Copies of this chain bind each other. A is one copy, B any other.
Amino acid sequence: MRVAVDAMGGDYGPDEIVLGAFQAAQEYEQEGIEIVLVGDQAQIIQALDRHGKWKEGNITVQHASEVIDMHDSPGAAVRKKKDASVVVATGLVKQGHCDVVISAGSTGGAVAAALFGLGRIKGIERPAIATPIPNLTGTTVLLDSGANVDSKPKHLVQNAIMGSIYAEYVLNIPRPRVGLLNIGEEESKGNEQAFTTYPLLTQLNSVNFIGNVEGRDIPKGTVDVVVCDGFVGNIVLKFGEGLASAILQLLKQSIKSGNLWTKLAAMLIMPTLRGLKKKLDHAEYGGAPLLGVNGGFIICHGSSRAKDIKSAIRVAKEFTEQEVVAHIRETIAKEGIVTNE
């Protein structure tokens, strides 16, 4: 299996991206993983050389001279910067040379590159980003977490199908409970979008729809797949990141400002705190797949470090081996969803 890694994207590219890919290449070599690092060849090789012997290994470099950054308008940039690292990486999948792309670059740029380069699965009008969130008992997948805004009810229906497949095949949750994110449990609650989506979700054969869920159900873990508009999903996700890090920071501050006993306690409790942080840390969950395009595409957080990239490569491996794209294609056809805008 070949993984195309956009080496230039993200806050810590190319160094941390290359390091993560290098570690994954070593660790997963026996499992048949090959990494293609895409981006500025000189910079990538310089970074690889720092990490040791790689030339005889399972890493190759594909040069790309441009980068799509946060200031680019995604749609225009993908068309104009034909040699951008994320565009070239996506092309490797399109051409069948690689199986899956990983990018920590501009999310808009990644979505545009995937749409433009791979196209949509028949029946899917708007691909969605599915982000795994840790909860008290396991993981909840939230989608869409930012690929689209102003989604129509039919788009949320498509999200429900795709999210359910991802949860079942990659997160190993049998018959995942799928909920519609809303402001109350009753069917009559919510905005126009939710109100119209609810009855459509009850008609799906492939989805175990449990009804409306509220914000608090996500951390509680009473739902496996949460369906929402990308505007809401993105705000919830970023609020959660901010809140978790604020809570840990408050805890550390109050420990530091304590007396000798509190400081001793803090030392004893640090492993627990670190374990908690790990649980909350998106790194452990690797990337979030863009579901609905004709090929594997894993989007990483812009602040991804080496360990995040390594995690994302593991996710990419699962995604590919479990044939998520094929499952989506079949299920969408079975549900009788044939629209493509």
Which A positions have Cβ atoms within 8 angstroms of B?
A: 135-136, 146, 149-150, 181-183, 190-192, 194, 214-220, 228-232, 234-247, 249-251, 254-255, 258, 261-262, 264-269, 272-273, 275-276, 279-280
Q: How far is the CA of A183 from the CA of B249 in the complex (A)?
A: 24
Q: What's the Cα separation between A266 and B115 when bound, in Å?
A: 51
The answer to whether B235 touches A215, judged by C-beta atoms less than 8 angstroms apart, is yes
Q: Quick one: which of B214, B254, B275 contacts A272, CB cutoff 8 A?
A: B254
Interface centre among A135, A216, A236, A243 (most CB of B within 10 A): A243
Q: Are A242 and B262 in contact (CB under 8 A)?
A: no
Of the candidates B217, B251, B268, B269, the one whose C-beta lies within 8 Å of that of A276 is B251
A243 touching B242 in the complex, CB below 8 Å, given contacts A183-B234, A231-B191, A265-B268 = no
Q: In the complex, are the beta carbons of A136 and B249 less than 8 A apart? A: yes
Q: Return A239 CB to nearest CB of chain B, in Å.
A: 3
The answer on a CB contact under 8 Å between A216 and B191 is no
Separation of A136 and B273 alpha carbons in the complex (Å): 19
Listed A/B pairs (21) with beta-carbon separation below 8 Å: A136-B250, A149-B191, A150-B192, A183-B231, A183-B235, A190-B231, A215-B234, A215-B237, A215-B241, A216-B241, A218-B242, A218-B243, A232-B232, A232-B235, A236-B236, A247-B247, A251-B276, A255-B269, A255-B272, A264-B265, A265-B269
